[in-house]
């Protein structure tokens, strides 16, 4: 069992292989919720599939509009189809939401640090996801389930705003039906006929079936939700250096040169987005960051 | 009574409590069950009890005028439901409804208040446990109010 897990930033020269987007074609568009959609992309050229590690992101370029960092949400063992789920919240993603099958998009990446899935071998793995934060965690879950025997308990705790906002609903049902993964879903508010849990995702942590002394926790969601999730995990006995968070900042270049995503002494695009919690703990408490 | 005492002592709310106090409190406890869909209590009614959920799931609801009742929290096995028994005027502020068959211990509020009055150490112990629950609920309510999953403008 590893005693000191860490995620390593890729070497700069490897990350900065190109600033030139590679052309991909939209193969499939899925409306996940009212404001969230998934694009399945295939390369236009005959080049190699875009291999990635769970937790990494790509810079997606909507031509004539702009470029945004979007985490990869597909199966890392099926890199032939590049999958991105995002919310239509800004100028670029609102136009991206109108892309349909056959249209082109530019892709740079993959960038950033991955979830420490391999290092978690032999441990329970607790995934705490909030809202759209489930998207960057889905590749980790795919990998965990693909190599299920390597891990102890696998627990997914997912919280979102309302039942209508639940992401990957059918997939959650399939995971829930398995005997080798524990899935708990809660919403912040609901009306009948919802019969599931109502309450914040942090309240799932005290009762979740994992051994805090031999668990690795992966958290992604709004920053406040992540901070309170960390408090609950630590209260339960999970060591801080076994807790990993994925941060979101204003990433522009994706390779740690432009400085837009600076977070204290860190560049989130290159040294993150996945960080061991102790590395960012002090900076998360700084209001101005 | 011995069986009830043992089962009661296994509930998370009583974890680590002096067995002497559990023995005292068992006299205020009774076994209750609520069918799916039935109300455990209604807003405005006298809050005579609180509930230690043993099995099932219940929702705290508010019913705004001309809108469907909104679930604001669910409780399940190991949770505590209700603290209005503790705070005057001892009236429920919300509705509580069983979402599925729910089994619980009902703890008689008047009985508890009397025992706490007779033994302030017991009163402190119960208040300490309830204040943790109230603080957790307050924190959860803050997070819900912040609506952290909403699109930030």
Nearest CA in chain B to A133: B149
Give the span between the Cα atoms of A156 and A145, in whole angstroms: 12
Q: Which residue blocks in A178-239 are alpha helix, DSSP H? A: 223-236
Instruction: Tell me the domains of chain A and their CATH numbers.
Output: 12-111 (2.40.30.10), 118-284 (3.40.50.80)
**Residue A286, C-beta contacts closer than 8 angstroms, at least 6 positions apart:** A264
Q: Which of A165, A190, A228 sits opposite B71 (nearest CB)?
A: A190
* Contact residues, chain A, for B68 at CB < 8 Å: 191-192
**Residue A26, C-beta contacts closer than 8 angstroms, at least 6 positions apart:** A39, A40, A41, A99, A100, A101, A102, A103, A104, A105
Give the span between the Cα atoms of A22 and A104, in whole angstroms: 10
Please give the pLDDT value at position A1.
45
Q: Do B70 and A225 touch (CB under 8 A)?
A: no
**Angle of helix A223-236 versus helix A277-284 axis, rounded to 10:** 120
Burial class, A45, CB count within 10 angstroms (exposed 0-12 / middle 13-18 / buried 19+):
exposed
For A103, which DSSP code? Answer: -
pLDDT tens-place string over residues A61-112: 999 999 999 999 999 999 999 999 999 999 999 999 999 999 999 999 999 9
CA distance B108 to chain A (A): 26
Kindly tell me the sign of the dihedral angle through the C-alpha atoms of A255, A257, A259, A262: positive
Token pair listed for A54: 């769970």
Which residue, among A200, A203, A211, has the nearest Cα to B78 in the 3D structure?
A: A203
Q: Is the bond preceding residue A110 a cis peptide, omega within 30 degrees?
A: yes
For A212, which DSSP code? Answer: G
Residue B139 gets the label, from left (phi > 0), alpha (psi -120 to 50) or beta, of: alpha
How far are the Cα atoms of A25, A43, A50, A123, A160 from residue A47, in angstroms, in the given order? Answer: 13, 7, 9, 37, 38
Q: Do A207 and B149 touch (CB under 8 A)?
A: no
CA distance B74 to chain A (A): 5
Sheet-wide strand order for A274-276: A197-198, A182-187, A154-160, A124-130, A215-220, A243-246, A274-276
Q: Which of A130, A198, A222 sits opposite B72 (nearest CB)?
A: A198
**Please, which pLDDT band fits residue B2 given cuts at 50, 70 and 90?**
low
Please give the pLDDT value at position A255.
86
Asked if the model's pLDDT at residue B81 lies above 90, the reply is: yes
Give the span between the Cα atoms of A153 and A124, in whole angstroms: 5
Q: Do A224 and B146 touch (CB under 8 A)?
A: yes
Q: Which of B59, B100, B143 sits opposite A228 (nearest CB)?
A: B143
Token pair listed for A75: 């199966």
CA distance B145 to chain A (A): 9
CA distance B114 to chain A (A): 32
Query: Which residue positions in chain A have pLDDT lower than 50?
Result: 1-3, 15-16
Q: Which of B70, B100, B147 sits opposite A191 (nearest CB)?
A: B70
Centre a 10 Å sphere on the Cβ of residue B128 and count the other Cβ atoms it contains: 9
Q: Do A189 and B139 touch (CB under 8 A)?
A: no
Instruction: Tell me the domains of chain B and their CATH numbers.
Output: 2-146 (2.60.120.10)
Q: Which of residues 234-273 of A touch B (CB under 8 A)?
A: none
Q: Which of B71, B139, B151 sits opposite A191 (nearest CB)?
A: B71
Please give the pLDDT value at position A2.
47
Q: What pTM value is reported for the model?
A: 0.91
User: Across-strand partners of A37?
Assistant: A31, A86
Q: Which residue blocks in A26-133 are alpha helix, DSSP H? A: 91-96
pLDDT tens-place string over residues B110-153: 999 999 999 999 999 999 999 999 999 999 999 998 888 887 65
Q: Are strands A124-130 and A215-220 parallel, antiparallel or unpaired?
A: parallel
Q: Is the bond preceding residue A193 a cis peptide, omega within 30 degrees?
A: yes
Give the span between the Cα atoms of B78 and B68, in whole angstroms: 28
Please give the pLDDT value at position B28.
94
Token pair listed for A264: 């204290």
Asked if the model's pLDDT at residue B96 lies above 60, the reply is: yes
CA distance B61 to chain A (A): 9
The mean of the pLDDT values for chain B is 92
Kindly state the helix (H) or strand (E) to which residue A62 belongs, with its residue range: strand A57-62
- Maximum distance among all alpha carbons in chain A? 54
Q: Do B148 and A189 touch (CB under 8 A)?
A: no
Q: Do B148 and A222 touch (CB under 8 A)?
A: yes
**Residue A141, C-beta contacts closer than 8 angstroms, at least 6 positions apart:** A127, A154, A156, A175, A181
Give the span between the Cα atoms of A184 and A216, in whole angstroms: 17
* Contact residues, chain A, for B98 at CB < 8 Å: none
Burial class, A94, CB count within 10 angstroms (exposed 0-12 / middle 13-18 / buried 19+):
middle
Nearest CA in chain A to B69: A191
User: Across-strand partners of A275?
Assistant: A245
């Amino acid at each position: 069992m590893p005693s000191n897990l860490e995620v390593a930033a890729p070497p700069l020269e490897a990350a900065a292989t190109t600033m030139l987007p590679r052309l991909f074609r939209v193969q499939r568009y899925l409306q996940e919720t009212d404001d969230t959609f998934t694009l399945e992309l295939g390369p236009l050229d005959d080049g190699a599939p875009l291999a990635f590690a769970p937790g990494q992101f790509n810079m997606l370029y909507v031509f004539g509009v702009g470029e945004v960092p979007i985490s990869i949400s597909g199966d890392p063992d099926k890199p032939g189809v590049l999958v991105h789920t995002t919310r239509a919240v800004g100028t670029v993603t609102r136009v991206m939401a109108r892309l349909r099958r056959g249209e082109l998009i530019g892709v740079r990446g993959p960038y950033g640090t991955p979830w420490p899935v391999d290092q978690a071998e032999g441990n329970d793995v607790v995934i705490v996801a909030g809202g759209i934060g489930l998207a960057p965690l889905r590749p980790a879950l795919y990998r965990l389930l693909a190599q299920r025997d390597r891990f102890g308990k696998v627990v997914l705790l997912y919280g979102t705003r309302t039942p209508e906002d639940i992401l990957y609903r059918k997939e959650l049902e399939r995971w829930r039906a398995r005997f080798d993964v524990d899935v708990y879903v809660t919403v912040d508010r609901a009306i009948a006929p919802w019969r599931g849990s109502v309450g914040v995702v942090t309240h799932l942590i005290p009762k979740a079936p994992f051994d805090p002394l031999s668990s690795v926790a992966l958290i992604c969601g709004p920053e406040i939700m992540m901070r309170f999730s960390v408090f609950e995990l630590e209260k339960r006995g999970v060591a801080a250096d076994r807790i990993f968070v994925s941060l979101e900042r204003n990433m522009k270049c994706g390779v740690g040169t432009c400085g837009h995503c600076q977070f204290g002494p860190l560049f989130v695009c290159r040294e993150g987005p996945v960080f061991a919690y102790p590395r960012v703990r002090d900076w998360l408490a700084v209001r101005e960051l | 009574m011995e069986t009830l005492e043992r089962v009661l002592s296994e509930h998370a709310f009583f974890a680590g409590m002096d067995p002497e106090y559990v023995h005292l409190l068992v006299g205020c406890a009774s076994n209750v069950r609520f069918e799916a869909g039935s109300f455990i209590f209604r807003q405005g009614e006298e809050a005579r009890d609180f509930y230690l959920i043993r099995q099932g799931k219940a929702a705290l609801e508010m019913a705004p005028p001309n809108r469907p009742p909104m679930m604001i929290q669910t409780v399940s096995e190991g949770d505590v439901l209700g603290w209005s028994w503790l705070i005057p005027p001892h009236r429920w502020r919300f509705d509580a409804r069983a979402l599925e068959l729910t089994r619980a211990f009902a703890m008689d509020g008047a009985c508890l208040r009397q025992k706490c009055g007779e033994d302030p150490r017991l009163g402190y112990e119960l208040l300490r446990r309830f204040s943790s629950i109230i603080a957790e609920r307050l924190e959860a309510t803050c997070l819900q109010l912040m609506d952290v999953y909403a699109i930030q403008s």
